[in-house]
Structure 1
């Protein structure tokens, strides 16, 4: 197939054509336009396909949480949001903590249209897998038993994973326990818990030569530590979520607080603005959703987390319109950097992987329509949990089409 129009990379924006081989699904050429596009891209920007390297699709062999989401519905939500590849977290009922359980879960991902990379879990007694995979360490309480209660226990486990790719949920369980009786969710999980856990994670990443990633970063006070670590050569990157870029504690009301509860919680307006600028500068590397599809009933009784896969592409247009992000920056944090993160874990049939418009890379694209707004409603989303924190909000742009290895999924 052939897609022509305004192409975007990290370095430039230009008029051109992407040619995708129908048999392999790989890009064979990026060349000049000749008026023969297979899809209408008028008024659009054509990006390498967006990646979301932090989601919770909920499906495992137990089937116990598939009422929230599964790999089929997560895939539909991803395509709707312009996402072509995702990485799924391991805090399942049956957690993928060894080769057998990881492979068992991988078989379930075959129903997904978008490519799924699977993290393996790190817990107090786990060991590295024999295959090459990314890992996730929950420093504080989470679903199941994949978490740690103190720094010593965490370090004993991390020492077994020297040199591995490890992502950290940075919240200090001791500080959170000290604040357990505070009146609000946000006060029970204060920013200093994230800052304290950041210092520990950075030390472990450096000491044990990890390729580290800090998940869903939210507080401005930790940013100088991350930047200093990067400058001295520590292999660390960081994510930020749409909700920590869009919402802050000033948006919380008695009516919406249950819907805007997540871990880490929303922070002060100054933190939100600091995240926006850190992402722009490159101090934060990825927009990753932490897509957490809890049901309406679960949110009403206090479950933390929000779904985002359906709205990721539209959210990118908000960053461009509201905060003057240029297209190249959008490409870097939504497509190219997520592509780099998963590249070493991909099967050979995906060629050079995701995130670049170049021969040999996967022919998966995100086509953003900058002129057609998207009004978010419960009826419009594809996630099984059937709600969005952006309900009632109209994004300035939308996803015109998502291309998966040469197959077009059109919206609207």
Structure 2
């Protein structure tokens, strides 16, 4: 097998961008430095070379919901966005309640995935019951972690038992924090916009009450508790204080909660702004950014949630929750946060690669070092373009970012030494 050398790029090595070269052989990086040679050369002049991005939270919709997305389209879209590892949620049809079903999903991920797919197993049967799945069997079948994403675990006793069991099998428990009695069939954030549009609001407390409960249970059990898509200033502060106390907690924030607020929702037909948790206030948005800057928030994850046109049709009340994110995350964040000076380029790259890999315990990716997987993304920061539906590789087109002018483009994505996406 021919070795490949990426030359003349600005390479993220550790926490620094350095003018250096990267040599890889088959699926492994073998050297980082100057004066390296290889038969095959990729010229990265004027490009940034970063570790392949790691997304802790995607929905690939297979099996059972393939009109929205499938493994092939979802992983190709992720590669287009610079991702080389994605973690797929279990809210598919049927829910993989058994080890046999989960094993089949893992097999499909390997068979159809253009990049590495790590599979979540459900915490409870059908995601909505109080009956735990068999965690030992799920881990043996290929589960890398547990999540009922899309649903909060309502009974504290169930959550306590789940924490105790997850610790036994060294499985991370990723929670969609939502108290249904407080959520109360809400549509968008509870506040002035919901009042103006005459729709039911979702209070911040529907998230924070469960986070507070779960942090106490995590402290008692020692489980690795991960909070999905946090959206409120109170949640940020709860996690900040828990980390100071030594609780084993990590969390993620989405690009849309960093870049948008409820103020963007101007009519009942603005269904591409409907997601769960909902877009909150500018105060919440500022707290999320501060949480990224001080390390309270461990990573940015997309919560890529593709839907059909029909799913998002009608009014805010009728439309499905969810927004796509794999293909717009880097360039939207780079354009709006890095170019405006709110984050540095290095901070953003770390939040998309090194930090999620570390938080998820993925020791073979997230850094450009000899021995690591040859998972790399080449980015052209000077490329400017308009985000257009025809350029998206996901089946889902449900994003409010369509039409935005962005800087930063994926030139190539390399996963396990193979070029899985190349800019046309």
Normalised by the length of structure 1, the TM-score is 0.89
Give 2:249's match in structure 1, choosing from 218, 236, 244.
236
Matches within 5 A, 1:182-201: 188-201=201-214
Residue by residue, what CA displacement relative to the aligned partner does 1:256-306 show, whole Å, maximum 9, x if unpaired?
521110000000011112212211221101110000001111011410000
The aligned length equals 395
Give 1:310's match in structure 2, choosing from 327, 334, 347.
327
**Partner of 1:108 in structure 2?**
108
**Partner of 2:127 in structure 1?**
none
Counterpart CA distance in 2 for 1:309 and 1:11 is 24
Summarize the Cα distance change of 1:328–1:376 in structure 2 as closer, same or farther, 3 Å threshold: same
Displacement of 1:387: 4.2
**Partner of 1:120 in structure 2?**
121
Counterpart CA distance in 2 for 1:284 and 1:73 is 29
Matches within 5 A, 1:393-408: 393-408=404-419
- Report which stretch shifted further, 263-272 or 5-14: 5-14
**Partner of 1:161 in structure 2?**
166
Summarize the Cα distance change of 1:177–1:21 in structure 2 as closer, same or farther, 3 Å threshold: same
SS at match of 1:262: coil
Matches within 5 A, 1:253-332: 253-254=266-267, 257-300=270-313, 301-318=318-335, 319-332=337-350
**Partner of 2:54 in structure 1?**
51
Counterpart CA distance in 1 for 2:22 and 2:348 is 19
- Report which stretch shifted further, 243-252 or 270-279: 270-279
**Partner of 1:347 in structure 2?**
none
**Partner of 1:349 in structure 2?**
none
Summarize the Cα distance change of 1:83–1:137 in structure 2 as closer, same or farther, 3 Å threshold: closer
Displacement of 1:55: 0.2
Counterpart CA distance in 1 for 2:324 and 2:242 is 31
Matches within 5 A, 1:8-407: 8-22=12-26, 25-32=27-34, 38-60=41-63, 64-110=64-110, 111-123=112-124, 124-125=130-131, 126-130=133-137, 131=139, 133-138=143-148, 142=150, 148-163=153-168, 164-177=171-184, 188-254=201-267, 257-300=270-313, 301-318=318-335, 319-343=337-361, 352-407=363-418
The answer to whether the Cα contact below 8 Å between 1:48 and 1:355 also exists between their aligned partners in 2 is: yes
Counterpart CA distance in 2 for 1:166 and 1:366 is 29
The answer to whether the Cα contact below 8 Å between 1:377 and 1:391 also exists between their aligned partners in 2 is: yes
Normalised by the length of structure 2, the TM-score is 0.87
Counterpart CA distance in 2 for 1:225 and 1:386 is 34
Displacement of 1:10: 4.2
The answer to whether the Cα contact below 8 Å between 2:121 and 2:147 also exists between their aligned partners in 1 is: no
Summarize the Cα distance change of 1:177–1:159 in structure 2 as closer, same or farther, 3 Å threshold: farther
The answer to whether the Cα contact below 8 Å between 2:377 and 2:413 also exists between their aligned partners in 1 is: yes
Summarize the Cα distance change of 1:174–1:119 in structure 2 as closer, same or farther, 3 Å threshold: same
**Partner of 1:3 in structure 2?**
6
Counterpart CA distance in 2 for 1:323 and 1:200 is 36
SS at match of 1:296: coil
The answer to whether the Cα contact below 8 Å between 1:186 and 1:266 also exists between their aligned partners in 2 is: no
Counterpart CA distance in 1 for 2:389 and 2:185 is 38
Unmatched tracts of structure 1, length 5 or more: 345-351
Displacement of 1:314: 1.5
Residue by residue, what CA displacement relative to the aligned partner does 1:303-334 show, whole Å, maximum 9, x if unpaired?
00001111223134223112442232123210
Displacement of 1:185: 9.4
The answer to whether the Cα contact below 8 Å between 1:252 and 1:260 also exists between their aligned partners in 2 is: yes
Unmatched tracts of structure 2, length 5 or more: 125-129
Displacement of 1:33: 5.2
